Chains A and B, each alone.
Chain A
Amino acid sequence: MSTAEDGRLMAERGFWTDTGKTGIGAWIFSTDHKRIGLLYFYSVLFFFLVGVILGLLMRIELMAPGRDIMGPQTYNALFTLHGVVMIFLFIIPGIPGAFGNMVMPIQIGAPDVSFPRLNLFSWWLYAIGAVLVLTSLFTGGGAPDTGWTFYVPFSAKSATNVSLALFGVFVLGFSSILTGLNFVTTIHRLRAVGMTWSRIPLFTWSLYATAWVQILATPILGITLVLVIAERMLGTGLFDAARGGDPIMFQHLFWIYSHPAVYIMILPAMGIISDIIPVFSRKPIFGYKMIAFSSLAIAAAGSLVWGHHMFTSGMSDTAVLVFSFLTFIVAIPSAIKVFNWVSTLYRGSISLDPPMLFALAFILLFSIGGLTGLILGAPATDVHVHDTHFVVGHFHYVMFGGTGFAFFAAMHYWLPKFYGRMYRKRPAVIAWCLMFIGFNVLYMSMKVLGMRGMPRRYYDYLPEFAQLNLVATVGSWILAAGLAIMLVNLFRGLFRGEAFTGNPWGGATLEWSTTTPPPTLNFIKEPVVTHGPYDFKALADDSPDGMPGDGRNQ
């Protein structure tokens, strides 16, 4: 690359150069949604890697029966941390915080979100919450050992530093609520001319459904956590059976949030897949309205199924009947999405670039996760596998195979747009392949272990479970190796890869029509939307040379 070319690129580095501030302040005090998005991205990626290391350590401990590298108390702290870090610091804020912030305003043709300062504040709340959670590890009675579910009475009695960790999660909840408020307002108020509701890209649709769940369900988590803190500090006895309280009430309150939270995690992931598949098939998404509607249906029905976490808890059989029924109902919109994604491929022109490979892996892994969810939704079978490794396998298929792989797909799909540089595709494909294999070896072993009766959160186990645990641990190494290759290749590409300015994937949504990287207010000229988000024919007609354009001529 010549120096002149370098200079030209520097001048066109969009939001990277176009700012009054310099240094770290240009980032942590920036109200630009793209910078906040990248802040979120690197924060959640950091915590994802922390969670991965904790998970790998747990797998090493479980490699053989008995003590391998740590004692039971350490192990219990590890799985608590792995859960808290992965759920509250990675998966919940992950896609909305990082890619929602980066992409959503551009997708609807807005210069920024409705409340840019509130947006920055929600990142700060996230950072403060994360620091509080991390502080709880090294102070007081030591790392919390209650599991991420904080079930009473154990969480009210444990001598470890539970209160501080709870407070940290409480603060994180507010970050989530503010992001939700911001997104709902932005999607309602800041759409460009011509961006009708039926032209909104499905990723933005999914963020919209998610935002409502964030706003409505998260406050209940806040209240519940405060009640546990009150139980520990003031001895309120609300959950203490000996004083007329009810430990089951905690479980209801906890899952009223934490089940809808599962949809906060998976809905934006489904949105990413709905955006990627048409682009790499060169064909409109099949059943746009059904996919958008099913996001709302999942958000609504998913708020009423929390009791399926409690079939063995001792709640009434009538409650079991109702929650089981609603759980099966919520399976239907998820199935509709899968059928629509697969139909989009029909008679398309499919290119297997890395984002597409991750999206296809998502469909398979999410289907396996979703179908094993049916076993958990039926009370008869749930009783056997509840609280076993089957459940651990199930939610890793949905959360990691689903949301995690969608996050990787989004990294390979959108990050080059924001950096203006492309990664190498072959190593990305090798990494994808390793991860897909390692993933299935690891979590399928867990499912089989669970079917055979191995409970979860077990530091030690009977010899009959040894073989599959060893297999699972080896799987975790393959997965980790793939992950390492993927990250090294991606970041090498983003910082030193080949520069480009056009529309590398030929996407028809608005983020591909602006310059690369996008300017601070996203568009040089206010966009006017004339076609749907997956209308590739219109896109080709727009560009004078018949190639997907970089939009500067619009």
Chain B
Amino acid sequence: MKTILMSTNEVIDPVFIFIFGVSLILLLGITAVMIWFVFRYHRSRSPHATSTADGNLTLEVVWIVLPTLLVLAMFYYGWAGYLSLRNVPAGAMEVNATARMWSWNFSYPGGRSSAKLYVPAGKPVKVNLASADVLHGFYIPAFRVKRDVVPGMKNHVWFVANKPGSYDIFWSSYCGTGHSQMITTVEALPEAHFAAWLNEQATPGTPHLGLVLLEKLGCLGCHSTDGTPKIGPTFKGLWGRTSLVLTGGTERSITVDEAYLKRSIAEPNADIVKGFAPIMPPFQLKEDELKTLIDYFKRN
């Protein structure tokens, strides 16, 4: 019989409810008492203070002990919940994620990689996080999981998507101009579909090597291949396209050719396509990689 693993959000939400519940009771209590005192002992009803009490030991002890007990309970639940976020269940599928400014790349057992995170529904997934440049943060609100991606450090998160569907992934740790554009999704597929997806590209030769490279470098985080403009212009129909670019502030018209492409990869901010922001980081690619990319651009 297959047991359904409790997903991380099901573990964390009760902790939220507990802390919010206690806090709400305290807040309403304080507010009600305060408003009542202000009303009852307003100078119009109470022209002179009727007490000069400046303390009460019993009361002081009560409101030291009571909050102490409450916060200790919160501490306990907070820690127990955290442990379940850290301890990866046995048999989790491992995916390696690499973050850079400003895209993700996910690589799977068997060699396939993608810009969206594809996972089998109902199966725990451990995501190993690595950064190619600065601090990033990996955050899936739906599963209440988040972890910073730190250069030179091994971090991980795990989650299980019990229902197939699409869930947002946000970048939580601030990383510069394209920070808010680093949005992708978890695509949870039924297990059989996932297996098919994983195998479909394992057959060698199917995708153009250029596309594989684009995906690996994270270019597809900002540039689409289907014609939709994202943070950067689309790659569809790039070769031979005539575009208006800003070179050092002056507008000029160029035709996309090999020289232009090479320059735009190495010095992205030299010519900025009109309507886009100068935010792409430079890439130093090997000659054969450039050849592969240009060959890909020529065919698409």
Establish whether residues A363 and B63, one from each chain, have CB atoms under 8 Å apart when the complex forms: no
Chain A neighbourhood of B10, CB < 8 A: none
Establish whether residues B174 and A147, one from each chain, have CB atoms under 8 Å apart when the complex forms: yes
CB interface residues, A 260-303, toward B, < 8 Å: 281-290
Chain A neighbourhood of B174, CB < 8 A: 146-147, 151, 154, 387, 456-457
Chain A neighbourhood of B179, CB < 8 A: 72, 76, 457-459
A313-B150, A347-B50, A455-B171 as given contacts; A378 in contact with B78, CB under 8 Å: yes
Chain B neighbourhood of A462, CB < 8 A: 168, 183
A383-B144, A387-B139 as given contacts; A283 in contact with B51, CB under 8 Å: yes
- Chain B 12-50 near chain A by CB (<8 Å), digits 1 or 0: 100110011001001100110110011001110011111
Chain A neighbourhood of B137, CB < 8 A: 312, 387, 455
Closest Cβ neighbor of A246 among chain B residues: B152
Stretch of B64-72, B92-100, B292-300 that contacts chain A? B64-72
A71 proximal to B (CB < 8 A)? yes
Chain A min CB distance to B216 (Å): 20
Identify B48's interface contact among A339, A349, A459, CB under 8 A. Answer: A349
Closest Cβ neighbor of B71 among chain A residues: A328
Stretch of A50-58, A212-220, A329-337 that contacts chain B? A329-337
Bound form: Cα–Cα A372–B27 in Å:
11
CB interface residues, A 527-545, toward B, < 8 Å: 534, 536-537
A345 proximal to B (CB < 8 A)? yes
Establish whether residues B81 and A345, one from each chain, have CB atoms under 8 Å apart when the complex forms: no
Chain B neighbourhood of A457, CB < 8 A: 174, 179-180
CB interface residues, A 483-538, toward B, < 8 Å: 534, 536-537
B165 proximal to A (CB < 8 A)? no
Identify B23's interface contact among A72, A76, A374, A455, CB under 8 A. Answer: A374
Bound form: Cα–Cα A332–B34 in Å:
19
Chain A neighbourhood of B83, CB < 8 A: 317
Identify B150's interface contact among A241, A347, A458, A536, CB under 8 A. Answer: A241
Chain A neighbourhood of B178, CB < 8 A: 72
* Total chain A interface residues with beta-carbon distance under 8 A: 90
B151 proximal to A (CB < 8 A)? yes
Stretch of A35-43, A179-187, A318-326, A468-476 that contacts chain B? A318-326
A84 proximal to B (CB < 8 A)? no
A154-B134, A314-B147, A387-B146 as given contacts; A363 in contact with B30, CB under 8 Å: yes
Chain B min CB distance to A537 (Å): 7
B160 proximal to A (CB < 8 A)? no
Bound form: Cα–Cα A8–B81 in Å:
70
Chain B min CB distance to A286 (Å): 6
B176 proximal to A (CB < 8 A)? yes
Chain B neighbourhood of A349, CB < 8 A: 41, 43, 46-49
A453 proximal to B (CB < 8 A)? yes
Chain B neighbourhood of A342, CB < 8 A: 30, 33-34, 37
Bound form: Cα–Cα A347–B148 in Å:
52
Chain A min CB distance to B217 (Å): 19
Establish whether residues A317 and B86, one from each chain, have CB atoms under 8 Å apart when the complex forms: yes
The size class of the interface chain B forms with chain A is: 35 or more
B173 proximal to A (CB < 8 A)? yes
Identify A242's interface contact among B12, B23, B54, B152, CB under 8 A. Answer: B152
A46 proximal to B (CB < 8 A)? no
B155 proximal to A (CB < 8 A)? yes
Establish whether residues B172 and A387, one from each chain, have CB atoms under 8 Å apart when the complex forms: yes
Chain B neighbourhood of A71, CB < 8 A: 277
- Chain B 135-176 near chain A by CB (<8 Å), digits 1 or 0: 101010110111110111101000000000000101111111
A196 proximal to B (CB < 8 A)? no
Identify A247's interface contact among B48, B135, B177, CB under 8 A. Answer: B135
Closest Cβ neighbor of A250 among chain B residues: B135
B133 proximal to A (CB < 8 A)? yes
Bound form: Cα–Cα A147–B174 in Å:
8
Closest Cβ neighbor of B12 among chain A residues: A380
Closest Cβ neighbor of B176 among chain A residues: A154
A72-B177, A286-B53, A317-B86 as given contacts; A363 in contact with B34, CB under 8 Å: yes
Establish whether residues B81 and A379, one from each chain, have CB atoms under 8 Å apart when the complex forms: yes
- Chain A 371-409 near chain B by CB (<8 Å), digits 1 or 0: 110110111111110111000000000000000000000
A72-B178, A287-B55 as given contacts; A153 in contact with B82, CB under 8 Å: no
Establish whether residues B37 and A346, one from each chain, have CB atoms under 8 Å apart when the complex forms: yes
A452 proximal to B (CB < 8 A)? yes
Establish whether residues A248 and B150, one from each chain, have CB atoms under 8 Å apart when the complex forms: yes
A461 proximal to B (CB < 8 A)? yes
Establish whether residues A348 and B46, one from each chain, have CB atoms under 8 Å apart when the complex forms: yes
Establish whether residues B49 and A379, one from each chain, have CB atoms under 8 Å apart when the complex forms: no
Chain A neighbourhood of B144, CB < 8 A: 383-384
A350 proximal to B (CB < 8 A)? yes
- Chain B 56-92 near chain A by CB (<8 Å), digits 1 or 0: 1001100110011001101101111111111000000
Establish whether residues A352 and B85, one from each chain, have CB atoms under 8 Å apart when the complex forms: no
- A72-B181, A350-B42, A381-B19 known, 9 other contacts, Cβ within 8 Å: A241-B152, A286-B55, A314-B147, A345-B37, A384-B146, A387-B146, A387-B172, A387-B174, A459-B179
13 residue pairs of the A-B complex, CB under 8 angstroms, read A72-B179, A73-B279, A241-B152, A248-B150, A283-B52, A284-B54, A328-B75, A343-B59, A352-B38, A380-B79, A383-B146, A384-B146, A534-B54
B binding-site residues for A, Cβ under 8 Å: 11-12, 15-16, 19-20, 23, 26-27, 30-31, 33-34, 37-38, 41-43, 46-56, 59-60, 63-64, 67-68, 71-72, 74-75, 77-86, 133-135, 137, 139, 141-142, 144-148, 150-153, 155, 168, 170-181, 183, 277, 279
